[in-house]
Amino acid sequence: MLHRLFFFGTLRHLPLLEVVLGRSVDAQTVVPACLPHHEACAVAEGPFPALVPARGSEADGVIVEGLSDQDLERLNFYEGGFDYDLTSVTLADGSQARVYVCAPDRWTPTDPWRFEEWVRNWSDMSCRSAREVMGYFGARDREEVGRMLPQIRTRAWARTLAQGYRAGQGTLDGSVILDREARVYAGFFALDEVTLRHARFDGGMSPAVERSYLVGTDAALVLPYDPVRDRVMLVEQVRVGPLGRRDPELWQLEPIAGRVDPGEIPEDTARREAREEARLTLTTLECVARSYASPGSTTDYFHIFVGLAELPDGSAGVAGNENEAEDIRSHLVSYDRFIEMAERQNLANTPLVLLAYWLAHHRKRLRS
């Protein structure tokens, strides 16, 4: 049986539709159409739209003809992760089609949705996210994948950000061939196993080697520094890394940090996390480094900053985002004490040590 569907939202974007269907789509089977007395509205929880009844309006979209039962199964899985299901509608030309809609109270409609703006800002991340979602087709149910969507989007956004930063190390620009890539675990983090061959320095290719890596996200790290009072703020919280290593010091001193959410640039993340973790407003941000946390084992990528701020007496305390179960204590530490801690190896956080020595090098400039 062949199916005829109307798409008003992100699946109007042919590359995304092809990811979801797992096949190429003949552009001749895609025809512009509109649905009367409805409007596509952006939702606060997006980036995607919802279909809202609106007398006198028309929702633009496309009709896709000739979709197979297998296509429909894949579409039901993908759209179901967002709690969208099929219903029948009559289009402006009087023809019948089916469209994916959500319950009226499922998402929070805001402004009219603009497809071209979504393509510019979100299509790359959405295609990357869809590849992970459809990788679970046949292995997980749509409700489980729906619960994973925040982590899936953040991993996809990290891959989008990766296209925008180049360290310029002058290293070998050789080929890497992936013979196998498998997702063996997915939750808050994910774990991938790969079999690869890579270019060698002698001009040949390596034999196939097996590797695994933790799929994390981009994160912004920021050390607040008050150049007038010549002090920094450190934060303290319990960490599972030391727990897993069976380190007796489970509470760690760190810079303020948080993952870069979809749509954010790292600088915005640093400012947001400073507000959430320490109730601080940062003024100037100084970029210290952009680097991998441990490139042999994880995709985690750090955007590290010093943020200028006022740190008067009494500005330290306990804060954190309750929605993320954060319990974070902040400390005001003089510059001299901070450097002493670094040199005495009292800091067990590598980015924090880096920040100490960067600050030692740039302190005079910042204080001037």
**Which residues does the annotation mark as catalytic?**
324
With beta carbons less than 8 A apart as the criterion, state whether 35 and 6 touch.
yes
Q: Which residue has the tokens 């930063």?
A: 165
* Cβ contacts of 88 within 8 Å, gap of 6 or more: 96, 97, 98
Q: Which residue is it, tokens 């089977």? A: 29
Backbone torsion region of residue 256, taken as left when φ is above 0, otherwise alpha when ψ lies between -120 and 50, otherwise beta? beta
Provide the sign of the torsion angle of the four alpha carbons 42, 43, 45, 50, taken in this order: negative
The alpha carbon of residue 232 and the mean position of all alpha carbons in its chain are separated, in whole angstroms, by: 29
Cα gap 140→144, rounded to integer Å: 7
Question: Which stretches within the chain are classed as H helix?
Answer: 14-21, 69-80, 115-135, 142-161, 240-245, 266-278, 335-343, 350-367
